[in-house]
Amino acid sequence: MHKAGLLLISLSCICFPQALPKLDQILPLVQDHVKDFELTLPDFICDEQITSRELLQGKPHYETVIESAFRGTQRTDEKGRPFIESREIKTVNGRPAVKDQPLTGPFLFGGGFSSLLDEIFARQNMQYFNYKIIGQENVDGRLALIIAFETKKDQKVLLYREISGRQWLLKGKGKAWIDPESMNVMRLELQYLDPPLPEGVLTVSVDYAAVEINGKTFWMPRTVVAEQTVPNSKLPVTGQYIARYSNYHYFNVP
């Protein structure tokens, strides 16, 4: 009887997991890490590989592959956001790049490295979003908390800036997977709603991983993927942008 009682207790623990934490317990901690990313990240350099594709019926039709050195610097004397991104393109489709080579390809996306995270989870932007904890899910072998979010219908402040420089009101919804131990974002997904241009619905996902830069651990982008499918075309045409980041290390940019 004693052994059976222990078995029942064990099974009940498996079948009834602990209750999810409340949003007001989690969100401030996530916001602290986003602020840490934007304000205390040291100057760094990493390897960047960008694959820009045009897909016809799901198959690659045209592709450009770019290898570059991606840099992040802090300029505390500047107003607004001090974190500045830049890149030096090394090769395009395996060939050496020309001096001051611009980013090129059939489909490009900007803002996935830092802007997306800041727009959604910066403390000053909280007023423009609705957030909700909706469950848990395994990501890279870790049980992550899932926060669903959506821009408020009346928000008229946050802007989506295209890589071409054009900008529109940000309207979107998505999910974030949060590491419950560090409270860092492990994965972020956003679907832009009501896109102003006829190219179709734009979706973006960013995967993050812990890396050490100058003796401190930061959760940095590992992969950024953006896709947009053109509606009402005879053959489904999809633009795909994949950026991969690796080999992060401290680099004091002059």
DSSP codes of every residue in 209-220? EEEEETTEEEEE
> Which of 24-33, 113-122, 145-154, 225-234 is the least confident region?
225-234
Structure tokens at 227: 């896709």
pLDDT at site 24: 92
pLDDT class of 76 with cuts at 50, 70, 90? low
* Residue 184 identity (one-letter amino acid): N
pLDDT at 164: 67
Instruction: Please give the Cα distance from 49 to 47 (Å, whole number).
Output: 7
Inter-residue contact 186 to 139 (CB < 8 Å)? yes
Long-range own/partner contacts, residues 80-88 (CB < 8 A, 24 or more apart):
81/38, 81/118, 82/38, 82/39, 83/37, 83/38, 83/39, 83/41, 83/114, 85/113, 85/114, 87/48
Q: What is the DSSP string of 29-43?
A: HHHHHHHHHHHHPPP
How high is the pLDDT of residue 193?
Answer: 81
pTM: 0.86
Q: Specify which residues 68 forms β-bridges with.
A: 48, 89
Q: What is the mean pLDDT of residues 219-228?
A: 95
**Residue 206: how many other CB atoms lie within 10 Å:** 23
The pLDDT value recorded for residue 53 is: 94
- Is residue 149 predicted with pLDDT exceeding 80? yes
pLDDT score at 237 = 85
**DSSP secondary structure code for residue 102 in this structure:** P
Average pLDDT value for the chain: 85
pLDDT digits 0-9 by tens, 150-188: 999 989 898 877 766 677 788 899 999 999 999 999 999
Would you say residue 3 has pLDDT above 50? no
Average pLDDT over residues 126-153: 94
pLDDT bracket for residue 254 (50, 70, 90): low
Closest CA to 52 of 109, 8, 111: 109
pLDDT score for 35: 87
Q: What does the alpha-carbon distance between residue 62 and residue 127 come to, in Å, rounded to a whole number?
A: 41
CATH code for the domain defined by 21-250: 2.50.20
Choice between 105 and 200, residue whose per-residue pLDDT is larger: 105
Q: Whose CA is closest to 185, among 222, 219, 138, 136?
A: 219
What residues does each domain of the chain span?
Answer: 21-250
pLDDT interval class at 8 (50, 70, 90): very low
